Chains A and B, each alone.
Chain A
Amino acid sequence: MTTVLVEYKDVTVSFNNEDIVKKFNLKLKKGEKVLFKGKSGTGKSTLLKLLMGFTFPSLGSINFRGKSLNCDNIWEVRKNVCYISQHSDVWEGPVIDIFKEIFSYNNNAQDLDYSKIDSLMNYFNLDKNKLYQEYDSLSGGEKQRICIILAILLPREIYLLDEITSSLDNEMKSKVINYFLEQNDLTLIIASHDSQWESNNIKVIPIGE
């Protein structure tokens, strides 16, 4: 029997007396993949941020490996979960420096695997010299792919993917989607309005209906 990794228990989130999320329940086991489907502004991102401890429930609780999230175990969660934001304008400077910075963090202490970067760049159709360009000079789609590569390299047990394919063309979109869905071990929570994510090994949860 696999244990429950993540659980949302009667979670309500309100801002200014308005419920963004209302009595939300979900149990997620290792390797399971869910898609939060709905229009923007329906609280999909909020649900993901709750697990990272970037926002907090007004009622209910979020559990990670059976323990309710608090200010101590949140740092443990952040070691195991990677949240890729829908905003890709979050880095600056040369792309290679971003790779170096992330792998200088204590939690990610490992040597940068350049051959792995190479093969991922190759897989996601990114020219090798993009690595030495300024992040700001990249297009929206290129930024999204760099963020995805950074996240994959970490590697994490759980990924929270927040509209990560919004600036990609259809071909690239399916490449990204396949990459994540093919890996049975990965636990995924995906927030997207895009039905391309729907496949037989993913559970679709409509949000905001």
Chain B
Amino acid sequence: MDTYEISSFSLFLCLLLLLIPLLISYYIKLKLISKTLVTVARMSIQLFLVGIFLTFLFDLNNSYVNFSWILIMLVVAGYTSIKDINLKVRDLILPVAAAFFLGNVLVLLYFNHFVIRLDNLFEARYLIPIAGMFLGNSLRGNVVGLSDFFRSLKHDEMSYTNRLSFGAKKYEALMPYIRNSLLSSLQPTLASMVTIGIVTLPGMMTGLLLAGESPLLAVTYQLAIMIGIYVSTMLTVSLTLLMTIRFGFDRYGLVKQEIFSN
């Protein structure tokens, strides 16, 4: 069974649907018209380019090129999570990218080898989409976890120095903060696991179903992927916290003010 193609004309018909949000926006003066148009245009170009790029990558299917692409994805993920929470990129990009690397690539290779049992671990068709799913989720987790960590530390520095006053070492005194930010970064993944299949059919499963695979295969893949996502998110966020604590605190155990970008 083949997937139905979407022709250019059909795509045009799909875009016509946008008239609905545009009209609503016009009548209730949401001022979303230009933003919607710009965003959709941007997304179209982005996806179109990715389409061309992935076609090229899949055809070439060279392990080195595939892996290099993963590395680029890692650095961009690291950059985005630092930038998003107003920390200085220069000081933290290497440690955070390293955390993404360890947290995702190890799980990814384990996953490809033991779970999917790929002959070539770097097979583009598997490596890149799965890496994208792991990375996307650990990026989201990282932004939530890191910003929670630094926000509560900034807001409540007294509790931290107070723990140092009562004999705690740096990591002992930071443990409550680490615990809280890990919890808040994992909460969304756990929540989506709870409703999975009932409220939402996640993208990966939908993709396999549309591609004509059996629901059972789709479900197995989804289950495996969700576990991979949970593990890689937890690992990445833990490692990122360890790394930023290592590089973001001075030897007196105080947070370096210069890591904040404003």
Contact = CB atoms under 8 A, between A and B. Distances in A.
Interface stretch (B91-99, B156-164, B227-235): B156-164
A180 interface: no
A75 B159 CA distance: 18
A122 interface: no
Interface string A54-80: 100000000000000001101100110
A87 interface: yes
B254 A54 contact: yes
B165 interface: yes
B168 interface: yes
A117 to B, nearest CB: 15
Given A91-B162, A105-B168, 16 more contacts: A53-B253, A54-B254, A74-B253, A75-B169, A75-B253, A78-B165, A82-B166, A83-B165, A85-B161, A85-B162, A87-B158, A90-B158, A92-B159, A92-B176, A105-B172, A154-B167
Given A85-B158, A91-B159, A105 B165 contact: no
Interface in B164-188: 164-169, 172, 176
Interface string A36-57: 0000000000000000111000
Contact of A84 (B165, B172, B176, B254): B165
Contacts of B169: 75, 105-107
Interface of A: 52-54, 71-72, 74-75, 78-79, 82-85, 87, 89-92, 102, 104-108, 150-151, 154
B9 interface: no
Contact of B251 (A71, A83, A107, A108): A71
B165 to A, nearest CB: 4
B166 A150 contact: yes
Contacts of A53: 252-254
Contacts, number: 60
B168 to A, nearest CB: 5
A108 B169 CA distance: 11
A132 B154 CA distance: 29
A79 to B, nearest CB: 6
Given A85-B162, A90-B158, A90-B162, A74 B252 contact: yes
B167 A71 contact: no
B251 to A, nearest CB: 3
B167 A108 contact: yes
Interface residues of B, number: 17
Q: Which 7 A-B pairs have the closest CB atoms?
A: A71-B251, A107-B167, A90-B162, A83-B165, A90-B159, A53-B252, A108-B167
Contacts of B172: 104-106
25 contacts: A53-B254, A54-B161, A72-B251, A74-B252, A75-B169, A78-B165, A79-B167, A82-B165, A82-B166, A82-B167, A83-B165, A84-B165, A85-B158, A85-B161, A87-B162, A90-B158, A90-B162, A91-B159, A102-B166, A105-B168, A105-B172, A106-B172, A107-B168, A151-B166, A154-B166
A78 B161 CA distance: 11
Contacts of A54: 161, 164, 254
B213 interface: no
B61 to A, nearest CB: 52
A83 B161 CA distance: 10
A83 B166 CA distance: 7
A78 B164 contact: yes
B250 interface: yes
A92 B159 CA distance: 9
A78 B167 contact: yes
Contact of A52 (B159, B164, B168, B250): B164
